[in-house]
Structures are given as structure tokens and as C-alpha cells.
Amino acid sequence: MVQIIPAILDTTPEDFKKHVEQLKHSVSFQEGWVHIDFEDNEFVQNKTVDITTVIKTPISLNKEAHLMVVHPLQWIDKLKEASFKRVIFHFESKDDILECISKIKQLEMEAGIALNIDTPVESLEPFKDKLDSVLVMSVVPGFQGQPFLPEALDKIKALKKLNWSGRIAVDGAVRDSNAKQIIEAGADQLIIGSYLLKGDIDENLENLWEVILDE
């Protein structure tokens, strides 16, 4: 069964705390994972809350970090200290990929890599046996509210052809109108931010499952 993971992308501590409180009061997300975005205003033109804000705002869900940053190596130790269990960094970042994977694994966290829409999936071939997951971006990373890029569906299918053994997650503009297509293409995880968090989370999730399970 596909896994739906709520995503938080916030630029202020106040908004971050608000969204964490939403999840805490949600019936649907008392266990599982939460996806937290970090942006450095260099890799993308936006800056989110820092790790300190996350530490000050505890949540019982397992935390995965999505590092939209130029130098992920500088973040990994701090993420371990903040009790993250999974770290996803971008293939397009400036640090050595094998070094990033090795450091994450040494600290006993899962390692995932994110691919922008223009990065060929074949680029992952040398690393695919070392990664736990790949995150296919279905928007240009940086901001919520962008349109879904249908090329992401082709990337998922291409990963399947590579005999990818890890999980395939999709992040960006995932909602009721495209969730079923994404799953049919081969995704294991849907990373969903604004569609879930705007309004009632449990109602939004129920609507999503109705579409996904509709025969």
C-alpha cells in the first residue's frame, strides 16, 4: 500500500508550530512520518526555519529531512542530534554524493536522494544500491503552490525500468487530481503539503484515499 507523508515547508517558527499542532491533533497522523523541508536561500531562492526551530517544537512522528541546500554535509550531524531518522539530499547539490550517503549511514539514518525534473534518472545508477529511497520532484523546488509537472510520471516509470529496489517518493503539487496517476506510475510514497494542511487534515486525507481507492 502506498504511504502518504505530510510535508511541512515553513519560513517562520510561528507557521511551523501551527502546522505541527495541526498534525498533533489529527486522528490520521498519530504515527508514521513527517517530511520537513529545509532551504538555505542558495540552492533555492527561499529560506525555511532552521533545525533549532524543529528541536523546540517536538512531534511524535518519525522525522525525515528534505535538504534543499547547497552543502548537505553541513547539516547531517545536526539532523542526527534533532532525532531525524531519514535524510534526503539533492543530487544537484555541491557535496560529494558518496560522502553524503556514507555520513548519513554512519549516523544510522536512512539515506535518500532527490532528483529535480531535469536530472536524468540514469544519473543514479552508480548509487542505487546504497540508497534507501529516491524522491522525484514534481515541481521546481523552493515554493509551495506550483503546478504539477507531468514529466515526473515518466521519471517514476524510468526508475522502475532501472530495477530500482528502494522506495520511490514524489514531492510537489501532489493532490486528489493526480495521486492515482502517480501511484499507477509506480510511486510508493506521496509527500503532500498544502493539499493536506489547508483546512481539515483528516477530511483532506479521506478525500485523497477515496480517489486513490476508487476503481
Catalytically active residues, by annotation: 37, 171
Burial pattern 158-193, b for ≥16 Cβ within 10 A else e, equals bbeeeebebbbbbbbbbbeebbeebbebbbbbbbbb
Question: Cα separations (Å) of 111 from 167, 200, 206, 215?
Answer: 11, 32, 30, 35
Question: Cα separations (Å) of 137 from 40, 56, 65, 143?
Answer: 18, 29, 15, 12
**Residue type at position 126:** P
How far apart are the C-alpha atoms of 47 and 188, rounded to whole Å? 28
How far apart are the C-alpha atoms of 107 and 214, rounded to whole Å? 41
Q: Is 78 exposed, middle or buried (0-12, 13-18, 19+ CB in 10 A)?
A: middle
Whether the CB-CB separation of 164 and 127 falls below 8 Å is answered with: no
The angle subtended at Cα 140 by Cα 171 and Cα 40, nearest 5°, is: 90
